[in-house]
């Protein structure tokens, strides 16, 4: 297989973690007979420095021409004072919207070797944590109308939360398809006791469920889901939910696994092209010091192989190699117990690659 990947190294630790991930992809290519080619794309602070724009059209076009996009992270204190549309994050929002990425998936998985890092009680952690939050990414209240005006001498602000059946159906399908590839359980999280949009979500999801008789479908109010995620996360396999609920729940879900440097994500739209990135930011406090944990990015590449290129065996090989490196006790500083030895970003890359 030949695949062309747009690579956004970005800012802060971005270039370091992406470098290790490309080494892992090259190793997979050699082992399984695939060719991965890369185009470097400037986005974020480095693009502002180079072009005065966080994602110039030429760079966006390079992403749209690729089979998929791999991103490190963007942003940092240097660009924080800039006006909203000139900030590094604007490049990311523009990229998501131009690629039509409406489905964001974040796995919340506790690696047993890192169980001590979870803030949950041992008795809860022992039951295992392994679920995915599938979040609608380009609709709902974040993309509705926002108005602030003065009415009768008092300032009023209003945000609308629009959703159409079509927008719900397409993300719903991704939820069911994801569940099908896992333990075949899908939970729709909403606030159907209060919101019309949630009642529409339920109706569309219940209709879709008839097409997926092999997937056990359930529904839960978002306030209850927030509690259940800390009370008994083992009950979840795939959660599908709207944009703002997904934003909040996916952060809660990543927190209970204990380690921000380990968590990958995928964003998909129509077709197989996706955007793959770790959930953390550019960590300017440790940038350029060979201290970053590259595993979140390496696992994002595994998701790219699985979801965009249908290379399940290769994706599993990467996950198994990460698991084996952790089993061997290899830890970057963010994973190591206080006072214990740790390795740098490149050495963690080496530890994964030798186990492939
Ligand atoms: P952050 O995720 O960059 O860092 C939070 C803490 O986690 C820091 O102490 C950092 O050192 C640590 N950390 C994060 N990733 C790590 C890794 N791979 N290995 C080891 N330690 C790691 O969040 P922040 O400090 O709030 O944001 C820093 C910058 O990143 C800001 O400019 C922010 O806007 C940007 N940001 C970008 C993205 C993105 O590119 N998608 C996402 C979030 C934040």
291-324: per-residue pLDDT in tens?
999 999 999 999 999 999 999 999 999 999 999 9
- Residue 281 CB–ligand 1 contact under 6 Å: yes
Who's near 267: CB < 8 A, 6+ residues apart? 96, 99, 101, 103, 104, 105, 137, 274, 275, 276, 277
**Which residue among 69, 266, 275, 281 is best mutated to probe the pocket of ligand 1, counting the most ligand atoms within 8 A of its Cβ?**
281
142 as an active site residue: the answer is yes
Q: Pairing mode, if any, of strands 238-241 and 130-136?
A: parallel
Residue whose CA is at the smallest distance from ligand 1 atom 1 = 281
85 as an active site residue: the answer is no
39-83: per-residue pLDDT in tens?
999 999 999 999 999 999 999 999 999 999 999 999 999 999 998
Domains and CATH numbers, the chain: 1-107+258-356 (3.40.718.10), 119-256 (3.40.718.10)
pLDDT confidence of residue 93: 87
Mean pLDDT of residues grouped by 10 in the chain (356 residues)?
Answer: 98 98 98 98 98 97 98 97 88 92 95 90 94 95 92 96 98 95 96 98 98 98 98 98 95 88 94 95 97 98 96 97 97 91 97 98
Cα–Cα distance measured from residue 75 to residue 293, given in angstroms and rounded to the nearest whole number:
18
- Residue 220 CB–ligand 1 contact under 6 Å: no
Residue whose CA is at the smallest distance from ligand 1 atom 13 = 283
267-294: per-residue pLDDT in tens?
999 999 999 999 999 999 999 999 999 9
Q: Which two tokens stand for residue 295?
A: 């595993």
């Amino acid at each position: 297989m030949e695949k062309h990947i747009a690579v956004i190294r970005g800012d802060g630790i971005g270039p370091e973690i992406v470098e290790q991930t490309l080494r892992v992809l090259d190793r997979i290519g050699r082992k399984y007979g695939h060719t991965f080619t890369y185009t470097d794309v400037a986005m974020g602070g480095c693009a502002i420095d180079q072009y005065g724009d966080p994602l110039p059209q030429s760079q966006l076009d390079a992403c749209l021409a690729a089979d998929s996009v791999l991103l490190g992270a963007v942003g940092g204190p240097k660009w924080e004072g800039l006006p909203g549309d000139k900030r590094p994050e604007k490049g990311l929002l523009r990229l998501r919207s131009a690629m039509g990425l409406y489905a964001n998936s974040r796995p919340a998985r506790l690696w047993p070797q890192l169980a001590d890092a979870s803030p949950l009680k041992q008795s809860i952690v022992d039951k295992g944590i392994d679920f995915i939050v599938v979040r609608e990414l380009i609709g709902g209240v974040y993309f509705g109308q926002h108005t602030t005006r003065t009415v009768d001498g008092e300032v009023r602000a209003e945000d609308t939360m629009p959703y159409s059946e079509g927008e719900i159906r397409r993300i719903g399908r991704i939820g069911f398809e994801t569940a099908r590839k896992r333990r075949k359980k899908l939970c729709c999280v909403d606030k159907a006791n209060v919101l019309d949009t949630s009642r529409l979500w339920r109706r569309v999801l219940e209709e879709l469920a008839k097409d997926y008789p092999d997937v056990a479908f359930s529904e839960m109010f978002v306030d209850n889901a927030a509690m259940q995620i800390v009370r008994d996360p083992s009950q979840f396999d795939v959660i599908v939910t709207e944009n703002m609920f997904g934003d909040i729940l996916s952060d809660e879900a990543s927190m209970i696994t204990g380690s921000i440097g380990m968590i990958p994500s995928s964003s998909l739209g129509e077709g197989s092209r996706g955007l793959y990135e770790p959930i953390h930011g550019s960590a300017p406090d440790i940038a350029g010091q060979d201290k970053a944990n590259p595993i979140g990015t390496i696992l994002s590449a595994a998701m790219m192989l699985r979801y965009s290129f249908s290379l399940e065996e290769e994706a599993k090989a990467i996950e198994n190699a990460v698991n084996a490196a952790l089993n061997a006790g290899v830890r970057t500083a963010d994973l190591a117990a206080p006072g214990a030895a740790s390795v740098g970003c490149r050495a963690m890359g080496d530890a994964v690659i030798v186990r492939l």
